[in-house]
Amino acid sequence: MRESPTEVSTTMKFSGAVVASLLVIAGMTVPSGADACLRMKRRRVQKVDHKLQDVNRAEHLLAKGQGPKAAKVARKRFRKFTAATGEPDSGKALFNRAQRTIALATVRSDGAIDLGKGMRGKTPEQRTGNLAWATSVLEIQVAAEPDNLLLRTYLAEALMHQPGGDAQAVELLSQLANDDLMPTARGFALLAQGQQRLGDVSGMDLSLQRCRELGEGDDICTVA
């Protein structure tokens, strides 16, 4: 049965109205290409954690032997880096990483590093104070994370810069070595250095051998 002209016209009008409505809804719900791009950019900007970026960069600089630069980058984001409890607006784990980086940079500079007011590292007293602070930081962190083997090697490294600290450092590192828990070749290199200072030549040779077995090359596995 054929539709009358009037019915056809009515049907076409109805269909046109539905299509128009759908187009309006689509225009309301689907953002333009420019809007979508802008929203994605805003999301990316919001997700950037500049403190995390700087801590990562500081750790990288320290690993490359650029301690003073590493400390400077970490201090830029954590002004209260000497605080034992961290900063209220920072995650504790991230603060600890930054503080640890500054402490290690201090140790590896033998205290001769500028950490700000009262900690310039220019006089013997200031260098001694810087090293004492760094050692204290690592002692606190080891106490908080007793199962962190890497932290123990950091503490041993700091102790070797303290008067009479070689024996304690060797004891700490020897425990890791004897239990086959030494986390890095650097740990064995530090142990060898401490054993040399204490006159343990055979122990030093064994530690250097185990250092080389970890595959980090002869550059680090030596004793001056």
Domain boundaries, the chain: 49-146, 148-224
- In angstroms, rounded to a whole number, what is the distance separating the alpha carbons of residues 55 and 73? 7
Q: Cα–Cα distance between 190 and 180 in angstroms, integer?
A: 15
**Nearest Cα to Cα of residue 92 among 139, 33, 153, 141:** 141
Give me the residues of the chain with pLDDT under 70, please.
1-48, 84-90, 216-218
Assigned CATH class of 148-224: mainly alpha
Q: Which of 145, 133, 128 is nearest to 102 (CA)?
A: 133
- Find out whether 193 and 166 touch, Cβ atoms under 8 Å: no
Query: Which pLDDT score is estimated for 7?
Result: 47
Instruction: Write down the pLDDT at residue 39.
Output: 63
pLDDT of amino acid 79: 80
**pLDDT (tens digit, 9 = 90+) per residue, 77-124?**
888 788 765 555 557 889 999 999 999 999 999 999 999 998 999 999
pTM of the model: 0.76
